[in-house]
Amino acid sequence: MAYRKITGEFKLEVVKEYWSTSNVSQTARKYAVSRDVVYEWSDFAQKAILESFANSTPGKRTVSLVEETKNLREQLTELSNTYRRLSQKLGEATFPSEVVSNCRKCNSENIWKNGKVYTKSHGLRQRISCRVCSFSVYIAIKKTL
């Protein structure tokens, strides 16, 4: 057998032939190599391909992270919209904007404006307190110019 330089291109050609035919004997005969060598190069090529796929993962991951971030942002927007709607409803119940003339707890009419208070959920509110039971409600401050 004449000396033949075995290049990477040659090995790849053998491996591709083997992969397309799935016939190791035929491939070995066609390229005049041993079947063991065909298996060996095939395994080597497979590992190399898997490795190169693994190495390309960070690039793909960035893409999916961008998409994931986008999805999470959309979910967050939806959630905060829902939260805002719900807390507005709660706020309407807890902080009536109508004029208060009776204590909501003891129904006494002996109530007074007890200063403006900064609330975490609604900002500045007028506090109205009951002189009888000290119960307070916080109502929206009417903007008067």
Interface ranges with Zn ion (CB under 5 A):
103, 105-106, 108, 130, 132-133, 135
What minimum distance in Å lies between the beta carbon of 93 and Zn ion? 18
Q: Between 8 and 115, whose beta carbon lies closer to Zn ion?
A: 115
Q: Between 133 and 139, whose beta carbon lies closer to Zn ion?
A: 133
CA distance 70 to 76: 10
- Please state the separation of Cα 84 from the chain's center in Å: 21
Q: Between 108 and 114, whose beta carbon lies closer to Zn ion?
A: 108
What minimum distance in Å lies between the beta carbon of 102 and Zn ion? 8
Q: CB atoms < 10 A from the CB of 66, how many?
A: 10
What minimum distance in Å lies between the beta carbon of 130 and Zn ion? 3
What minimum distance in Å lies between the beta carbon of 129 and Zn ion? 8
Q: Between 57 and 134, whose beta carbon lies closer to Zn ion?
A: 134
Q: Cα separations (Å) of 55 from 11, 15, 48, 68, 82?
A: 23, 22, 10, 21, 42
In sequence order, which ranges of the chain are alpha helices (DSSP H)?
A: 8-21, 24-31, 35-55, 57-94
